Structure 1
């Protein structure tokens, strides 16, 4: 079985996208679906390549039993558009950067992550970097809802088994 490859993307790969990687990885593990997925995150900019996620992101995630400490920042590369089945952007700026860099034949792989949480009536996961602790909690709430919606969409499409 070929794994479904998912890449979460934000600006610097230290807040939103590693949080999404951690949340979705935990969700997949909790449903015993690890065999179906390859999950990663990256940034559109190289500001934090090789660095661990923001300590505030790590602390907020750890409160929900999600350990981000082993993740390291990396920048999106051209090969990601071919390699990944889903390239999920956190906001308009990063979506635009991704679409403009993406070869035409792979553009359908690039989407907004929050499209999988239509109940939020938002398309952008806000960057919590300059906000207070509440911003990181809000981001986690949004990402958890989008992760659940994304998994449900994949299950309903028949790409993975349903868990219940």
Structure 2
């Protein structure tokens, strides 16, 4: 089983959106018995809360379930549990890498690293920008690229 963790700051906007979108893509590919997804935030402000209303709205509009998603904080014990730890931006990537130190772990990177010729490297935080549509497009592109990379790396064809 391949375990993927999406990480943002508060785990109510970007990372739960990525988790839900990625799970839907995995399901459509018939790989839900080979790939799992989760999400977490580097901050602790929203622990236990459902995704942000803007995330809920765009996922609902897109026919993607967010049932059961609740914010949690990224912890050091997550490092060995996940094969892919995918951060939404450089700040959270730095936080995760600092926590990882020199420990052996799976791939740690940014979501938009999986988008060829991406115009931006960081998924902006819609908690501050309010632009959930832009974030959904970026997350969808990144998740598509990530899934293709995982399928290739793990020979899941």
The bucket for the TM-score relative to the shorter chain is: over 0.9
**Equivalence for 1:136:** 132
**Equivalence for 1:59:** 57
Q: What value does the CA root-mean-square deviation take over the aligned residues?
A: 1.3
Structure 1 unpaired stretches of 5+: none
CA contact (8 A) 1:49 1:72 kept: yes
Between the aligned partners of 1:72 and 1:156, the Cα distance in structure 2 is 30
1:6 aligns with 2:8: no
Normalised by the length of structure 1, the TM-score is 0.91
**Equivalence for 1:24:** 22
Between the aligned partners of 1:38 and 1:79, the Cα distance in structure 2 is 17
**2:117 paired residue among 116, 119, 134:** 119
CA contact (8 A) 2:20 2:64 kept: yes
State the shift of 1:131 in Å: 2.5
**2:95 paired residue among 91, 94, 97:** 97
Alpha-carbon deviations, 1:46-100, whole Å to 9, x = none?
0100000001110011111112242000000111011111111100110111111
What count of residue pairs does the alignment treat as equivalent? Answer: 157
Normalised by the length of structure 2, the TM-score is 0.95
- Structure 1's consecutive aligned runs of 4 or more residues displaced over 4 angstroms after TM superposition are none
**Equivalence for 1:149:** 145
1:161 aligns with 2:156: yes
**Equivalence for 1:82:** 80
